[in-house]
Every structure is written in structure tokens, then in C-alpha cells.
Amino acid sequence: MVWALQGKAYLCSCMAENENFFAPALESWFADNARDLPWRHTRDAYKIWVSEIILQQTRVAQGYDYYMRFVERFPDVQSLASAQDDEVMKYWQGLGYYSRARNMLAAARDVVARFDGIFPHTYSDIRSLKGIGDYTAAAIASIAYDLPYAVLDGNVYRVLSRLFDIDLPIDETAGKRYFAQLADTLLHREHPGLYNQAMMELGALVCLPTGAACDKCPVASHCAAYAAGTVALRPVKQGKVTVKHRYFHYFVVAHKGNTWLHRREGNDIWRNLYEFPLIETPDPQPLSQLRCTEAYRTLLGDAGSIKFLAPPFECKHVLTHRIIHATFYVVEVEAVPAALHDMRCVPWSEVGEYAVSRLTDIFLHRCMAGLWNCLPQE
């Protein structure tokens, strides 16, 4: 292995020369190049926590406005803990991965119950909160309280694997354990929060997954992968993600100025969010085929005459392990089908007040943008 032959000796020589040989250069670069972000102007652990959770699976450009709205409405852990679930989900709408919001709400209520509404000050207590893993706990502890815990996210994995030209897979137990030890060894213990942010920023702005800007890297002179020409090969990932395709057919039912929404239940990524009546099929199905299914007859079989008001609207939502293909049919019915009686009847003017699933949110934004002018109004 490259690491076995080269990386360990390289690391030992660097560490012998300077316990943290690149921290000064890294932190100096960060001072000159860091993005001006609101959560970097506070030591409030609550707000740092909110920013970290929002930025999981979310780009900074998208997460920025969500963060500002969220902390304006819920400025502290007490205000979040006392909020209604539906309101929190509404503020989260559009960010996806809604389990993050559910976990935040549970954690906030736990802080109130166990810590008298004061965000915990130790790594172990922070780590005990729902939805907070090793990375998030380390980020909060180091940035808010200057506790010496190294962060290890995708950016840091990439920087370290290239800096020492390590070919250990980052998605296997041995690799994860080794990188955790390496990150801890290199941590600048006098300024752990500053150092952690600089490492993550370097990965986000310079040491990119593709097209790394090595000519702008403040530690390129120390980078083993740069010297060996293996930057594009690092980090190494062993496993392959199996992607499952799912096919959703939504029926936006219109009748006398109203439509119907149902709330998703069970252990689902969109649990407790609202969406239009849904038929899921195991494979793609055109409307002509869908109309012959038992699910279609159950949903609209007693609706009387059905008028399709516009061409189907198609979109897809790409997640880590699945791709959801959605088709929305806007239909006006003569009578309200029995299948809708257990769903929520909502005037068109109030649909936007509900916290909805990501796909439904995409559809509604297209409607509200004037792309669909077919919705009947009473």
C-alpha cells in the first residue's frame, strides 16, 4: 500500500520537524480567505449547532438563508423546544433530510429537560443529544468552547488523505479509525475551533473533490499526494452505494376550490410532512397503465367524471441511496372520492401554510411561479 510504504515515514518526519507542521500556514490562510458567514461571528453553541445541522447534506449557498430565518424565529434552545412540530417542519421545508429537523426538536427539548435549557458544555453531554454524532459534537465543542476535539467530515478526510497520500479506504472501519487518530494527532490544541474551521474551509474551497486548486493551497509544499501526482486518486472509497429507484404518482385533486393533503406516517424520511394523495408503483407506468391498477380505482374510482387539467408534471429527487421519480396529475373531480375522507381538505389559498415533502414543495413552487395556471378556484 502507498501509505504503508511512504505515508507513515513521511508523517513521522513531518511530525518530528514540527508537532503541527502546517497549522500556522493553514490558520493564516483561513484568516485571509474564510467566507464571511454569520455562524462564524458567534460562540453561541446553540447557533453553531443549528448551522452544523443545516449544513449537513446542504450547500452553504442554500443553507445560509435557512439559517438566518431559523435563528430569527428560534433564537435560542428554549424557543425551539417550545415550538410546535409543524411549525419547525415548515421552517425546514425545502432543505430535505427532515429527520434532521425532528432530531433537533427532540434534542432541544432534551436540553430543556436535562440541562435546564442551557446548551451542554462538555463533549460527552453534547454527543448524548439526539442527532448529534462525533463530527457535530467535535465541531460544537471546539468552536463554541475551544475544547480539543478534532472534526472529521468529508472535507477533512480529503485533505488528510491527500496531505499524507493515504490509500486506506475512508469508508471502512480501519480507515475511519486511522483517520480519526491522525486528525486528533494533528489538532492544534491551543486553537482547536479555529483550526477545525480552517481545515474544513480548505477542503471546501481549495482541496476540492475534483479540480483541486493545488496552486492556491497554503500547505501544498507539505502535500505527499501533490508531490506523487495522486491527488485525483485520494481519498479512496471501497464500497459502492446501491441506489434504489422509486416511482411516485401524485394526484392533485381539485373540487370546489379545495384540494386534499395527507400526512406521511411511519419510519419515513418525510414523516409528519404533508403531500398530495399518492400511488407508488414498482416501475415507471404511464397514465393509461396506472388507470388499470387497483390503487387507482381505490383512490378515484368513485369520483365520477374526472378532468385532467394539464399535462403531467414530472420531477425527481436524488438522495444518497435512492432516486425518487415523481409525476403530478392535476385533476378536477365531480365528487369527492371516499378515499379522501380521511385526508385533510384544504382550500387552495392555504396549501402553502403546510409543511410538505420535498417533491410536493417543488411542485407547489412551480405552480406558484405561474407555470401552471390550471388550478380551479371557487
Closest CA to 179 of 207, 160, 155, 202: 160
Q: Is 265 a catalytic residue?
A: no
CA atoms within 13 A on the CB side of 326: 22
Q: Say if residues 151 and 199 touch (Cβ distance below 8 Å).
A: yes
Q: State the amino acid at position 271 in one-letter form.
A: R
CA distances from 281 to 302, 357, 367 (A): 21, 18, 25
User: Which one is catalytic: 17, 19, 52, 190?
Assistant: 52
Closest CA to 151 of 194, 114, 117, 116: 194
Closest CA to 99 of 129, 60, 130, 141: 130
Q: Say if residues 7 and 173 touch (Cβ distance below 8 Å).
A: no
Other C-beta atoms lying within 10 Å of the C-beta of residue 280? 11
Could you list the active site residues?
A: 52
